[in-house]
Structures are given as C-alpha cells and as structure tokens.
Amino acid sequence: MSDLNDLVEQHIPRLRRYARALTGDRAAADDLVQDTLERALSRFHLWRRGSDLRAWLFTIMHNIFVNQARSRMRYPHEPLDEPAAAGLQYREPDWSELRDIGAALARLPAEQRTVVLLVGLEQFTYEEAARVLEVPIGTVMSRLSRGRERMRALLGGDFRSAALKVVK
Amino acid sequence: MSRHVVTEADLHAYVDGVLPLARVAEIEAYLAERPEEAARLAAYREQRAALRREFDPVLDEPPPLRLRVPRPYWLRPLARYAAMVAWFALGGVIGWQLHAYTAEQRAEANSWPRRAAIAHVVYSPEVRHPVEVGADQEAHLVTWLSKRLGAPLKVPHLGDLGYSLVGGRLLPGDRGPVAQFMYQDGKGQRLTLYVRVNADDSRETAFRFAQENRVGVFYWLDRKLGYALSGEVERGELLRIATAVYRQLNP
C-alpha cells in the first residue's frame, strides 16, 4: 500500500505542471490533480504493474478534464463553495500581451492544447500522447501541427495571420 | 541528392528531437533551401522552450497539503515517534499490570470513551477534510466501515434533531479498527458517533456519561458494538440525541 503511494507521489509535480498549463489557473489545476489522485488510488487495481504509471495517470487526468469541460458547458455557472471561491485567483488573460505563452495557450482549442503540452512540455512521444488521449497517432500529428501553427500566429511569429485578427 | 519526401510529421519530429539521426541531416539540408520553413520550425522550437520556462517552476513548488497522497498513519514521521513513545509506555503498563491485573478491565472500559472524545477533538474542527467518505456516498461508507470492523453497521439519521450526516472515517482503536461518523447542525456544531467492536458480545449497558474537558460523551455497549456519542453541547441535549441514536439502532 505504501509503495503504491510512493509510486504515485513522485508524479505529482509533473501532473501539477501539466494541469497548470492546461487550465491556466492554480486552484483549478490543483483541483484537477486532486481528482486525478483520488480516482487513481481508488482504481489502482486497474493499473497493470510494470506498465507506464505516468501515462496511466495522465490518461485519468485527461478523462476528468474532458468530462469537466463538458459539464461546464452544460452548467456554465457552477456554484463554488465559499472557501474555494475565496481562494480563487483568476488569471485573466491579457489579450494585448499576445506574446505571453500562457495567453496563447488559453486561446487554443483544448484538443490542440493537450497535444502541444503533452509533447512540448511533458515530452511524451507521439505514440504515448496518442494512448493518453485515446486517439489515433495521425490525429495527434494533425492537432500538433495545427496547434503549433496557431500558437505561432498568436505569438506574432506570423504577422500575416496575426494581422487578420487585429484589423478592425 | 536523393531524398525521401519530407512530411509535416517529419518536421515536428525534428523539432521534438525524435527523428532518427540518419534523417536529421536530410531535414537540415531541406531547411537550408527553405528559409521560411526554417523560421517556422525555429518558432516551434521557441514555443517548446517558452513552455518550459513558463511552467517548469511549478515542479519546484511544494504541493499543497491536500495533494499529499494519504498514507497509513503509522508511516508518518510524527506517528512513528508517537509509536515509539507508546512502546515505552506499554512496557511500563505491562509491568504495572503484573501488580494490578484486576484493575485492567475497568481501565479498558473507561479508556475507550476517552479515545472517542480525543477523536472528536481531533476531527470535528477540520474544515476541508472532516471525513474520509462524505454523506453523498453513504451506502459506500456503510459497506466499507462494516467490512473493516467485521460487523454490520447502521448510520443513524438525526435530521429530525437538526443534525445532518457529514460522513465518516476509519480510525485505529485500542483493539482494531473503529468507525467515526460525523454530524453537523445548521450552525456548524458537530457531533461524532464512535463505533467499536466489543471483545465480549453478550453485554448491554445503560448510557454512561463521561466528560473530557469540554467534550461530553454518552457511551453504551450493545452486544457486539460499543457506541460513544461526543459533542461540545449541553448534557441534556447530548442525552436527547444519544437516545434518538439508540432508538434508531434498536427499532
């Protein structure tokens, strides 16, 4: 039991890094990590010993993230309990600062953001990212390509496509 | 110069450093002739670096307490120290018991309500984690604790008295696992019901009352299970609630 906790614990910093980049919000990210840990520990019997624990944990996190995004769309004004709301500090993206990588990430569709982050930040191989996201590898490659190109436009690397968005 | 077709996937693999070495030179030759493509890939590389600069500091932040993976209490350093102290104390107790053997049963009978009161004091002020399993999973809570205690448990409902179930947790008792259920009224006043398995399952006792500082405890034995209801409420009210608990458990 305790070795399982140790195994899971060593992945917490990277789960937090990914969740922070994915949500852009410290409290939301840690909520996501907490949900992931709880689900992982309650379903630990489903993990095949010897298989990649990190990939398994990221898969769980991805599923929770997708489900939460879905339910947020259905219930856009989710009430927060008092202490949680008090601790929340929204980082409102500043659209005038498009060179900021966080702001650019926030403007990517979630399906592109996950691929850009799994590959670029978490150093997953394309095959691993495909398994975590449960999509074919071709889908990973096309989302990566579109995500990176959109980031480049947002960050000002491509003035022509960025200009289109600024022109009144 | 003969070449494979260079695909978009190859270019990303080049950016991500996962292209086979044999093909790296080929891509570099391809890019040398296409400055726009080279600039595009340089921008992707810079994105990767920027992501690391922005988010790597998260790795060094100490995770908040709620993200520490819960581990068995006897592995926590403080508990380990406490266990060591307890072993010394136990040595003393055993020595003393050789002389006072007959006092043992009475001492045991008196100590478990005290454990219930201590458990109440420890967990009832918790804001974020008062219980391990919340009332929203009541069925699971009852199944789980029944299994761990090896006896079918029931959770009394005290809504009529203004107390709703918060949830419950498993605790170490003097002879094995015990269960603690927590209730709360509209003002945040909390009560805990501590349930243990009795060594002797033939005994039934009347309500007894114990006071540990500000915590009042009504406790009783009911064959297989022992119950202790603790709260920082007036004795008359605690008795009223203990009576309701008893009635629900013995309909």
The string of pLDDT tens digits covering residues B53-65 is 999 999 988 888 7
Q: Are A132 and A58 in contact (CB under 8 A)?
A: yes
Among residues A1, A167, A166, which one has the least CA distance to residue A98? A166
Question: Does the pLDDT of residue B149 top 60, yes or no?
Answer: yes
Q: What is the set of domains in chain A, with CATH numbers?
A: 1-91 (1.10.1740.10), 94-168 (1.10.10.10)
Which sign does the torsion angle of CA B235, B155, B142, B189 carry?
A: negative
Contact residues, chain B, for A21 at CB < 8 Å = 51, 54-55
Q: Do B63 and A21 touch (CB under 8 A)?
A: no
What tens digit of pLDDT does each residue of B57-113 get?
999 888 887 777 655 444 555 555 666 667 667 666 666 555 554 555 555 556 788
CA distance A164 to A128: 35
B210 strand-pairing partners: B217
Q: Determine whether the interchain pair B9/A141 forms a contact, defined as Cβ–Cβ distance below 8 Å.
A: yes
Domains for chain B: give ranges and CATH numbers. Answer: 8-60 (no CATH), 105-249 (3.30.200.100)
Distances in Å between the Cα of B28 and the Cα atoms of A114, B15, B31, B42, B107 are 28, 11, 5, 12, 83
Q: What is the ipTM of this complex?
A: 0.78
Check if the beta carbon of residue A59 is closer than 8 Å to that of residue A132.
yes
Burial class (CB in 10 A: 0-12, 13-18, 19+), B53: exposed
Phi, psi of A105 (to 5 degrees): -60, -45
Looking at residue A85, its pLDDT comes to 41
Give me the mean pLDDT over the A115-119 stretch: 97
**Residue A137 in contact with partner chain B when CB distance is under 8 A:** no
8 Å CB contact of A121 and B43? no
Mutate to test the interface with A, among B69, B80, B170 (most CBs of A within 10 A): B69
For chain B, the average pLDDT equals: 84
Chain B partners within 8 Å of A84 (Cβ): none
For A151-160, the pLDDT digits (tens) are 999 887 544 4
* Better-scored residue on pLDDT, B229 or B207: B229
pLDDT at A93 over 50: no
